[in-house]
Amino acid sequence: MAARLNNAEWDQVRHNLFSRDSSLQKLALQRISAWRDRCPKISSVDIDCMADLVRCQVRDRSGLLNEEEMAFVRFVSLITEGKKKRKSRTMKTGAKKLKIPEWLVDVRHRATHWKTPPSLKSLRQGCEAALEWLKEEYWAKYKETGLKRQEGGILNRIKKFAMKSSNLFIDVLLEDGFLVPTVEQLEELCCDTSSSASLTEPRLPKRFLRFWLPLLKTVSSPSFIQVFLEKLFMKQKLLTKEPNGHRAFYIAAWISEVLLCNRKKGVRRKDRIFSWIRFLKWMDLISLCLDAPSISMPHLLQLILDDMEH
């Protein structure tokens, strides 16, 4: 089953892999093995070579390694040959293109073709250089591109579910711990948890809003927005007994953020949940708003009336 690799986990494994502590490196190798089971798509020549190189370092420090076991020979061969676009390109040309030090190719050639193998010292240096290349050319770049691709796949699956079962999907989002955050979640995102937020014109903390934007933008559609607003107002009606409470504030703030998407000024484009909402059942929203009296109701009603003019 594919699972999401978050940045914190990725950074921790990266730190352990390139440490000088063999116990931390072993932990990193265990996590990589688990990733292969959970997310087969992340396995690649690069990550396989990196695991082999680190495994060799751990064995070398334990005195269990001999010269023939050094994995950097495999690294040079697979990386340069596996990424060549033309079969006619030489290994040195491929290495130069990939910014791999030329001397690594020379050591690899000696290890595979010469009668006298390179010294263990040369092999250790080659292993270090190969890991440094992987650290800069693969590990850092994969975090920027690979994790984003993986996240995109997850969002696509969520979108399909939201299209089939939008009511159930929104009901889950409106449970505590999701669109209505806990205090611990707000602290984790470094959001203000004080009671200074405006109840008359509620707005979401920027960090919290941006945390949810990728998901909400993915499932955005006129029908979803309509159902989303209706359920927010119905949820607000149920909270009339706690008008100044934490949940009431966040429900009203989400309504406000959705309606503010129609504003040309005052809301940055990247902070908008949806694009301009032109066709909604405005009279139904007015009825729902009036049926859920709260401190924020005048503000929300004004937003609806302003949007109706468009």
- Amino acid 64: pLDDT: 65
Residue 8: CB atoms within 10 A of its CB come to 8
Distance CA 178, CA 251 (A): 11
Sign of the Cα pseudo-torsion (223, 277, 154, 9, in order)? negative
Tell me the per-residue pLDDT of 188-205, one tens digit each, with 9 for 90 and over: 888 876 655 688 999 999
Distance CA 154, CA 156 (A): 5
- pLDDT over threshold 60, residue 267: yes
- Amino acid 140: pLDDT: 65
Q: Give pTM, 2 decimals.
A: 0.55
Q: Which amino acid is at 14?
A: R
Average pLDDT, the chain: 78
Domain range list for the chain: 7-159, 165-308
- pLDDT over threshold 70, residue 173: yes
Distance CA 48, CA 63 (A): 23
Structure-token pair, residue 299: 């503000």
**Residue bearing tokens 């995102």:** 189
- pLDDT over threshold 90, residue 229: yes
- Amino acid 196: pLDDT: 53
Q: Is residue 254 within 8 Å of 202, Cβ to Cβ?
A: no
DSSP conformation class of 243: T
Residue 197: CB atoms within 10 A of its CB come to 16
The answer to which of 49-63, 95-109, 124-138 has the lowest mean pLDDT is: 95-109
pLDDT confidence tier of residue 187, bands split at 50, 70 and 90 = confident
pLDDT confidence tier of residue 58, bands split at 50, 70 and 90 = confident
